[in-house]
Amino acid sequence: MNGTSDYWPPLPFAEWQDTAITLHMWTQIVGKIRLALSPWTNHSWHVTLYVTSRGLTTSPIPHGMRTFEINFDFIDHELRIETSDGVRDTIELKPRSVAEFYRTLMKTLEDLDLPVTIHTMPNEIENPIAFDRDEEHHSYDREYAGRFWRVLVQSDRVFKEFRSRFCGKCSPVHFFWGSFDLAVTRFSGRPAPPHPGGVPHLPDEITREAYSQEVSSLGFWPGNAAMPTPVFYSYAYPERPGFSGVKVQPDAAFYGAKLREFILPYDAVRTAEKRDQVLLDFAQSVYDATSKLGKWDRAALEEKKPALHSAQHHS
């Protein structure tokens, strides 16, 4: 590493758009393998990927009496499949079409006696192309794939600090391959009104179950062609009257009416002197607005950590 810019690297979407789209589809294929083989967990928590010290992982996936993991390694740039009985295989991450990646991964799983069938149509994007027919997207830039992962590492680290402040129901910090973002979500403990749905190529019943309870969510998203700027975001569901007009920290943050969430440009964090604090202030200020307007029982939901000497006494 060479200075803090390597930990929080520039990530201009236009510079790696083709790689981002291809990698998005690759993560969808891997995520759908986990989806196909895992028991359902509320709010689709059973489908996500998780940030690791080398990339992204499915965590263990059941397959009969065995388990296996699929790991994106953005240091050595390979996809590793590892099983609970000690078998391991790798696929190089390099420029190749989504269709070729799909065929290669499925053949590798067959060879490892881990057959699986997935729905081959991508979710949550406009004009999707089935994985097995997608020859259009075939880019992989090692530098930018690595930068994206390094941003996820920092976001994951700070998000976990924010998550530790809450003792109510809260999601893990996890990567949603459908929307291609890292997120952590707090819950008030109360039911929410039915979500209107309408997410492209995602059944409304899935969306409605995901938002069946009141939430305050925080995330990082690298951008897309329509909004080519990486951002941190935070939103509330349901959104209470007055939410959009709340002043949140830092000054660079703003309410995006189209997305109905507060936005903090990634570059505002990357170029700040105290990056962690800027991001934590953003997360906390939006949560404050959500919980106060929604009358959450904050006294019951917020973590009361033991005194340091008490914790050390048992270590």
> Could you read off the pLDDT of 130-159 as tens digits, one per residue?
999 999 999 999 999 999 999 999 999 999
Q: Are residues 168 and 106 in the same domain?
A: no
Q: Which of 133, 154, 185 is the last residue of a domain?
A: 133
Query: How confident is the prediction for the chain on average, in pLDDT?
Result: 95
Q: Are residues 67 and 187 in the same domain?
A: no
Q: Is residue 93 part of a domain?
A: yes
Q: Are residues 32 and 84 in the same domain?
A: yes
ω into residue 194 within 30 of 0, thus cis?
A: no
Instruction: Please determine, for residue 2, whether its predicted confidence score (pLDDT) is greater than 50.
Output: no
Q: Are residues 221 and 107 in the same domain?
A: no
Q: Is residue 138 part of a domain?
A: no
Query: Would you call 263 exposed, middle or buried from its count of C-beta atoms within 10 A (0-12, 13-18, 19+)?
Result: buried
Tens-digit pLDDT profile for residues 262-271: 999 999 999 9
Q: Are residues 127 and 166 in the same domain?
A: no
Q: Which pLDDT score, from 0 to 100, does residue 307 have?
A: 65
Tens-digit pLDDT profile for residues 237-271: 999 999 999 999 999 999 999 999 999 999 999 99
Tens-digit pLDDT profile for residues 201-242: 999 999 999 999 999 999 999 999 889 999 999 999 999 999
* C-alpha to C-alpha distances, 271 to 7, 11, 32, 105, 147, nearest whole angstrom: 12, 12, 36, 39, 15
Q: Which pLDDT score, from 0 to 100, does residue 247 have?
A: 96
Model's pTM, two decimal places? 0.95
Q: Which pLDDT score, from 0 to 100, does residue 304 have?
A: 78
Maximum separation of any 2 CA atoms in the chain, in Å: 60
Q: Give the domain extent around 65.
A: 8-133
Q: Which pLDDT score, from 0 to 100, does residue 5 have?
A: 62
Q: How many residues does the chain have?
A: 315
Total count of domains within the chain: 2
